[in-house]
Amino acid sequence: MASSFRCFLVLYFLLSSLYFTQISRAEEDIVEEGILYIDGFSSIAKIDEDFICATLDWWPPSKCDYGTCSWGNASLLNLDLSNKVFFNAIRAFSPLKIRLGGTLQDKLIYQTKYDKQPCTPFLHDDTELFKFTQGCLPLSRWDELNEFFKKTGAKVTFGLNTLNGKTIASDGRTALGDWDSSNAASLIRYTVSRGYTIHGWELGNELNGNGIGPAISADQYAYDVIALHKLVQDIYKGKDVVPLILAPGGIFDAIWFPKFINKASNSLQVVTHHIYSVGGGNDTSLVQKILKPSHLDEESKYLQNLQGILRNSGTSAVAWVGESGGVYNSGRNLVSNSFVSGFWYLDQIGMSATFDTKTYCRQTLVGGNYGLLNTTTFHPNPDYYGALLWHRLMGRNVLSAHFQGMKKLRSYTHCSKSSEGIALMLINMHGSTTVNISLSVTLANAKESPMLLQVTNDQNPRHGIEREEYHLTAKDGNLHSQTVLLNGKELNVDNFGRIPLLKPIRVNPSDPISIAPLSIVFVHIPTIQVPACSMSTREYM
């Protein structure tokens, strides 16, 4: 009896295994059709040519979150500027915007020629604001950083200490008093005297409204920005190029931001805000959030609200995402530095561009568990390659596009960056469904009825020209992998520390665009030429 029961169990498990294997295979073979509708008459937004930006921070090795110390020697004070991979990773963008700043910038002082006190680094102290003592930037290190950025061709913005001169009220929350600009003025004058090029000076980090530390009122912050603008105008008087003034570098606040912008608008060129929309580094549901379109969509209301504030204020200032790491408190290992991170990162890049955001800065270039580069080796994490493909393919003019089909397929369309045609970024967040996409391009002039330009590429007289596709997938299908495949081949730096070439596959333009499950695809289609992407439109819009 026992022997028969054992035989029954063995047969049951064999049949069950076969059944579930067949179900799994069936799921893997699911293919859905969809149509991407593109309006080619005019663009809906325009981004900077150097839209992609990354940050470098001040956190020392003793910075820890949830018991994990993930920063290593990634601080601007001790970063290895001689590393070939690091150098080549920046050079590959030509140029890469880099924002120097972060929480500790508001506790940083700058060495001057006349300082008699030693210039000491940040030291961990739980009793201090942000749990670190005041730190100091040596002039010799500032020289080294500027020489490095010059060689790499980076465009640098620098975050200044807006707490300098202020006192903290008895509530432990409110920062009172005017910004003391004397130390910043010394650094700026030194920078100009040495001929260093700074793209912009930014005031403060997350000290507005519901910030991470002391809060500065909108009126006071505007007053401080006006002072910075005057200071920069005085120091750069007679220079051909004057750096941008950026602020406030904070989390969006629907009440605080309009007050600030209305008062500071004449002194401000860029309104910077920060986004951490996925969750904290200790959140166990990060992957589920990253792959959930409705969660990713929540950020769109803040991007839209900020654009509304800018329009209503009449200011000429533009919006940047000045810092975004997705997962706050230094990220999470094997999530925000792995392949799965690309689903929120690249989606948020695309979404930000549709709302006329001019520049998007990733926290970080290197440092923490959310760097584009590995903190120890400087080798690129998967998001680096996604950012590089965006930078090379997606042009300034953003087109209106709507995908009709599976809800987990995200799509973004731009004019091609440096050649004819259009460029697409397509993100398939579904775990088992391939999506075959056809294109429908129209010219929806508001004064006339929409005109169908093209439904299939076969109708285009230049149909013989192939399109270029770049398919990004995780190694071994593991979303937590830190190795990415481009068209099935691993991307790795070589023995000389050189960034690999990103080569496309060439596809017959009449074939549908096939997006595999859990993959990210960039497509360049030179055969689709629309008014929004004409050379005159690119130049004057």
Alpha carbon distance 372, 424 (integer Å): 22
Q: Judging by beta carbons within 10 Å of its beta carbon (0-12, 13-18, 19+), is residue 174 exposed, middle or buried?
A: middle
Active site residue 323: yes
Burial 56-88 (b: 16+ CB within 10 A, else e): bbbbbeebebeebebbbebbbbebebeeebbbb
Alpha carbon distance 184, 136 (integer Å): 12
Alpha carbon distance 27, 339 (integer Å): 22
The single residue of 28, 128, 202, 206 carrying the catalytic annotation is: 206
Alpha carbon distance 300, 352 (integer Å): 8
Tokens 């200011």 label which residue?
315
- For residue 73 the two structure tokens come to 């020697």
- For the four alpha carbons of 42, 47, 48 and 51, in that order, the dihedral sign comes to negative
Active site residue 468: no
Output 90-93 pairs: Cβ under 8 A, ≥24 positions apart: 90/152, 90/153, 90/154, 90/365, 91/152, 91/153, 92/388, 92/499, 93/50, 93/52, 93/153, 93/388, 93/391
The single residue of 202, 299, 323, 468 carrying the catalytic annotation is: 323
Return the DSSP state at 467.
E
Alpha carbon distance 108, 180 (integer Å): 13
Where do runs of H (alpha helix) occur along 255-370? 256-264, 286-290, 293-297, 300-313, 341-354
Which residues are identified as catalytic? 206, 323
